[in-house]
Structure 1
């Protein structure tokens, strides 16, 4: 993170597939922020282009010339939303940092609402939505993610972990202490503070284009949360192993009883293969879970970077 908080506000916005949205987003941001006396003239927006396949980077380069407060970071390879946010946080100079999506589903006009709640003494404020404009599978996955986060990371009840959030620079510095390649920003925030607020705002339809967030990326994000901030999955596999061992012990007793109570044992007990498949499946799940943890440890120890910067625009020389 920049060594000094020389601005009142920094916006960190990951960009992917949004060449048609960016001009409108920048215009609305300026209209909103220039209307805040405490922020006017003392803000920046750091757009992190996550190796977008369209002309998003070229559009950002043009906008940085028109709007001096627009900064751009171009990542050589797609790193994912949370890794891209880390790249922006590391170069943010604001006393307060707001992260949001690039598709105008998060309205710039709601930023003052987040800042007002932050001024009430909160360290972090999340936006929650009464009704979300997402596909059914994504809403279902979000509910599952919410339940798992509550269990694995002790997330406060009722708190929705939205990418539309405001935090103090001190929290961002704590988040940036993590240097591993598997980033889950909300988990890092929950590790740094429990003084978290929430405000309800509207969720809007995407301004243009299609979402780049696929089912595969959602599953990857869930694995980051499950394996980076808890050992509960390992414990669950241990419990499953003990449960299967206990079941096997009970079946062994039943077979001994059957041996002494029947004249002859049934030949070709069909449930034997079912038992073998169940036990084998549990073993493979346990091995897979161990492999997931070990693989992440290996890549972390090997120094795999969170992101690789290819170019920047509008950033101070020391942050480029």
Structure 2
């Protein structure tokens, strides 16, 4: 068990988890009270369709160490995490899912490893409790991350992580729909580590990450943070040129030896299909990158904060700090309003 540390920010993205989020927070509070002198729990509601918003707002009203952040639209897990990271007040951040597959009781293991001089520590499951297709898709993503980060640690990446909050300074300008926290963290450090932790079956509901969503995540990862597909397209073009040269040699040899051209429609059709397919493949890759450029030129924020609900201390009033109609708050100009009983008259009309 690690010694009591100073300040921790626990960030939990919340999506359709009204049934279990109270239990998650309760167990997290019990762990953090023993582990840290000061801590906060930031619950980022990613536009849930159930009663999650009401539940986390009630949690924030009952405990001044809990903040409920409501996003105006569904931004995705990593963008919700990015929002929480930018709102964190303390020097160490911890992220975990809301499904209790990774448990708060393992947080001390992450902190103990982090205090050994690392900047990012992952909780790597001893055994994953997912289906075969889900595990296969996760492994593809991890192998891609291994190429991006350039470290063996990528094979141990998980949503259960602890890192130094100062790393967010490396991605202050990051925005857009396609975000991956692990890549952003690699922009600020190369000191990664992992510890083995337990991984349980889901208690409530089913995972929102289906096989198709994980495949889409892998595609976004590859096209959003690397130029590997463009290189593959270039290699594919070179191979097609080589194949074309070989076919030309074959046609020339047949013409010299047989005194005529190569007969047969199937041969001609197969050649056209090969080269047309290669061209369409390259155009598809280029189109993906053009789409990424278009999205970024729109300056679309990674998320939109609709409201932040918190109380400043145990005796202070619980206030819903909603964003007024017609205003926007993007990820570079966020402000969180703390309102206590003594300042209500000065803040509210």
TM-score by length of 2: 0.85
Aligned length: 311
The reply on whether 1:139 has 2:135 as its aligned counterpart is yes
- For residues 154 and 311 of structure 1, the distance between their equivalents in structure 2, rounded to whole angstroms, comes to 38
Q: Give 2:42's match in structure 1, choosing from 43, 46, 50.
A: 46
Tell me whether 153-162 or 166-175 shows the greater mean CA deviation: 153-162
- For residues 311 and 259 of structure 2, the distance between their equivalents in structure 1, rounded to whole angstroms, comes to 86
Note the C-alpha offset of 1:172.
Answer: 2.4
5+ long unaligned stretches in structure 2: 1-5, 313-320, 322-334, 338-349
- For residues 171 and 208 of structure 1, the distance between their equivalents in structure 2, rounded to whole angstroms, comes to 33
Instruction: Report the equivalent of 2:176.
Output: 180
Q: Residues 258-305 of structure 1: CA distance to partner in whole angstroms, max 9, x if unpaired?
A: 011125445324132222222212211211111111111121122111
Mapped contact 2:61–2:311 kept (Cα < 8 A): no
- For residues 40 and 219 of structure 2, the distance between their equivalents in structure 1, rounded to whole angstroms, comes to 33
Note the C-alpha offset of 1:138.
Answer: 0.9
The reply on whether 1:288 has 2:274 as its aligned counterpart is no
Note the C-alpha offset of 1:224.
Answer: 2.7
5+ long unaligned stretches in structure 1: 1-6
Mapped contact 2:145–2:154 kept (Cα < 8 A): no
Cα gap change, 1:178 to 1:158, in 2 (>3 Å)? closer
User: RMSD in angstroms over aligned alpha carbons?
Assistant: 1.8
- For residues 275 and 260 of structure 2, the distance between their equivalents in structure 1, rounded to whole angstroms, comes to 27
- For residues 95 and 30 of structure 2, the distance between their equivalents in structure 1, rounded to whole angstroms, comes to 18
- What secondary structure is seen at the aligned counterpart in 2 of 1:120? coil
Q: Structure with the greater relative contact order (CA < 8 A, sep ≥ 6): 1 or 2?
A: 1
Instruction: Report the equivalent of 1:4.
Output: none
Instruction: Report the equivalent of 1:31.
Output: 30
Q: 5 Å matches for 1:122-271?
A: 122-156=118-152, 159-271=155-267
- What secondary structure is seen at the aligned counterpart in 1 of 2:174? coil
Tell me whether 218-227 or 200-209 shows the greater mean CA deviation: 218-227
Instruction: Report the equivalent of 1:3.
Output: none
Note the C-alpha offset of 1:158.
Answer: 6.1
Note the C-alpha offset of 1:16.
Answer: 1.0
